[in-house]
Amino acid sequence: MKTFKLRSQIRILSFLFITVLIVSGITAFPLQTELNYLVKALEPHPGVLYHWLSEVSHALHDMNSLYPFLSYGTDWLAFAHILISIFFIGVFKDPVRNIWITQTGIISCILIFPLALIAGHIRSVPLFWQGIDCSFGALGLLPLLLIHSKTKQLIAYSHTYQPLN
């Protein structure tokens, strides 16, 4: 019964993680449309976020007008999110055998921090936006650490529990 509960919890967390990765990937395709919507929604209350997103939206519009092939990079970003989510189907199906996927996900979420802070600084991305990018790593860590912990419990329980004959 304990293993069933652990497996169910891992499946729920894995499903949520997979879903968020897919949605995150899909939203990278219509980036210009999304930015236009956000800028318009923030326009009545201009602040630092409005000004940053407005600048990004204008730059993306100019880039898409002159060099539309550069947006192919965000298409690959979207694809990568969707591709990564496919690996987590292994965790959903067999978390013990595929614990390495969870561990890789944890490492990836941790590596978001130096990437966002170093590349963000080099690319002149405002610090508050680097923080938003880092939050994706932090939010991804939460379910992955829970999955990892529950998988370790599942492993420990399966090694200690010996059914009666």
Within a domain: residue 57?
no
Within a domain: residue 120?
yes
Within a domain: residue 83?
yes
Per residue, the 3-state secondary structure of the chain, as one string, reads CHHHHHHHHHHHHHHHHHHHHHHHHHCCCCHHHHHHHHHHHHCCCCCHHHHHHHHHHHHHHHHHHHCHHHHHHHHHHHHHHHHHHHHHHHHHHCCCCCHHHHHHHHHHHHHHHHHHHHHHHHCCCCHHHHHHHHHHHHHHHHHHHHHHHHHHHHHHHHHHCCCCC
Residue with tokens 């802070």: 117
Within a domain: residue 125?
yes
Within a domain: residue 92?
yes
Residue-wise pLDDT for 82-130, tens only, equals: 999 999 999 999 999 999 999 999 999 999 999 999 999 999 999 999 9
Within a domain: residue 49?
no
pLDDT at 158: 82
For the chain, the domain total comes to 1
Within a domain: residue 46?
no
Confidence of residue 164 (pLDDT cuts 50, 70, 90): low
Residue-wise pLDDT for 52-79, tens only, equals: 999 999 999 999 999 999 999 999 999 9
Within a domain: residue 153?
yes
pLDDT at 53: 93
Above 90 in pLDDT, residue 19? yes
% the chain with pLDDT above 70: 97
Residue 127: which domain range? 2-28+74-157
Above 60 in pLDDT, residue 163? no
Residue-wise pLDDT for 131-153, tens only, equals: 999 999 999 999 999 999 999 99
102/161: higher pLDDT: 102
